Amino acid sequence: MVPAVTTTGLTRRFGEFTAVQDVNLTVAPGQFFGFLGPNGAGKSTTIKMLTGLLAPTSGSIQILGLDAATNPIEVKRQIGVVPEGLALFGRLTAAEYLHFVGRMYGLDAATTAARTTELLDFMSLAGETKKLITDFSHGMQKKLALAAAVIHGPRILFLDEPFEGVDAIASGTLKAMLQGMIARGATIFLTSHVLEIVERLCTHIAIIDRGHLIANGSLEELRAGVQARNPEGNGNNQILTLEQIFLSIVGGDPAIAPPEQELSWLG
């Protein structure tokens, strides 16, 4: 089966600084893939490269078997993206924006109109017919960005911090929608700082730290790896949470670990 996403030697440098170094990653179709890492680890840079917002310095990206560099248009037709900046046009209404996006993805007018209505209803945005996007709250903008990302029925969905700034009710709606997509065979690639959400939703997880991929596998595989590395630490057979796994893998890094010295002048 052709992998949904494959990266080979993916590297991105900004001058002297290497943000992502030689990342080799494979995401199988139908996976709910969580991409984690501490601040500045290279998550957003990686997702930007995967979605065409940033050119890799070296390495290659294959989406559904297509090379992203040589087939950018075909690749983009297969993916949906909620980028960091949300990519919204502030001077349009939600319906106008979705109509625009649908047409840009090649949907016919009738399908676009039907899906626009359906998505606005689903996202509880149907009542905001006259309001421009610029006047939306952050949570509403996020829901609209997600609606725009799925209007063409993408086979892979890339989400950069989709739950940030979204209230509990909207968060529940989004989760239900994403799980529905997975059930229908789509692949989701997600970055988030909320480890509880990642643990609940994702079947596979990769962790990046200082530009290097340092862990990759199913939650069970990561858990087994941590337990194998530290058998005494789990003597009571308690199931490790993703937070514990994450801290065990990344927290061992002296750059991440809390300093031994205290800030004595604080308080």
Partner 1 sequence: MAGLTETPSQSQSPNHPWTSAQSRAQFAALAQLRWSIFRNAFRRKGGTGELIARILIFPFLGLIAIFPILGAGVGAYVLVSTDRLAMFYAITWGVFLLWQLVVLNISAPGLSFDINTIIRFPISFPRYLLARLFFGLLSAANVIGTLAIIAADIGIGVAKPSLVPWATLVLIVFALANIFFTRMAITWVERWLSTRRASEIFTALIIFGSLGFQYINLTFNPAFHHGHQASKLPLLIKIFNRIRPVANLLPPGLAATSIVSSAQGRHFTAIASLLGLAAFGCLFLAVYAWRMHREFRGENLSQVSHQPAATRIPAPQRISGLPSATTQPTRSPFSLSPTLSACLRKELLYLRRNTNQLYGFIAPVFMVFLFATRMGASGTGGSLVFPAAVAYSLLGVSILSYNGLGMDGPGVQFYFISPTRLRDVFLAKNLIGFLLSLVEFFLIFGVLVLSTRTPSPLIALATLCWLLFATFTNGAIGNLRSLSAPKKINLSKISRQQTSQLSALIALGVVLACFGIGFAIVLLCLHLHRPWLMIPVLLALALAAFLFYIRVLNRLDVIALNHREAIAEELCKT
Residues 170-229 that bind partner 1 (CB under 8 A): 170, 173, 177, 180-181, 184
d(CA 148, CA 123): 11
Task: Identify which of residues 47 and 201 has a Cβ nearer to partner 1 in the complex.
Answer: 47
Helix (H, G, I), strand (E, B) or coil at 151: coil
Residue 52 is a binding residue for partner 1 (CB under 8 A): yes
Give the nearest distance from C-beta 259 to partner 1 in angstroms. Answer: 7
Q: Phi, psi at residue 38, to the nearest 5°?
A: -70, 175
Give residue 173's Cα distance to chain centre. 17
Among the listed ranges 34-42, 187-195, 214-222, 256-264, the one in contact with partner 1 (CB under 8 A) is 256-264
Cβ distance to partner 1 smaller for residue 195 or 197: 197
239 vs 266 by CB, closer to partner 1:
266
CB of 94 to partner 1, least distance (A): 12
Residue number, 173 or 227, with CB nearest to partner 1: 173
Q: How many residues bind partner 1 (CB under 8 A)?
A: 72
Tell me the two tokens of residue 185.
Answer: 């065979």
Tokens of 25: 């990653």
Select the residue interacting with partner 1 from 3, 83, 217, 225 (CB under 8 A).
Answer: 83
Q: Does the footprint of partner 1 cover residue 261 (CB under 8 A)?
A: yes
Chain residues 106-165 in contact with partner 1, contact rule CB under 8 A: 106-108, 111, 115, 118-119, 121-124, 127-128, 132, 134-140, 148, 150-155
Pick the closer one to partner 1 by CB: 79 or 202.
79
Q: How far is CA 220 from the centre of its chain?
A: 20
**Spatial distance between the Cα atoms of 58 and 60, rounded to a whole number of angstroms:** 7
Provide the pairing of β-strand 187-191 with 32-36: parallel
Question: Would you give the binding string for partner 1 spanning residues 3-42, x where CB under 8 A is met?
Answer: ----------------------------------------
Footprint of partner 1 on 63-82 (CB under 8 A): 72-74, 76-81
Q: Which residue number, 135 or 243, has a Cβ lying nearer to partner 1?
A: 135
User: Could you say which of 11, 89, 113, 225 contacts partner 1 (CB under 8 A)?
Assistant: 89
Burial (CB count <10 Å: 0-12, 13-18, 19+), residue 26 = middle
59 three-state secondary structure:
strand
| Extended beta strands in 15-82, E state | 17-27, 32-36, 58-63, 66-67, 79-82
| Residue 256 found at the interface with partner 1 (CB under 8 A) | no
Which candidate, 124, 103, 138, 133, places its Cα nearest to that of 176?
124
The CA-based angle 107-113-114, given to 5 degrees, is 100
Smallest distance, partner 1 to C-beta of residue 229, A = 29
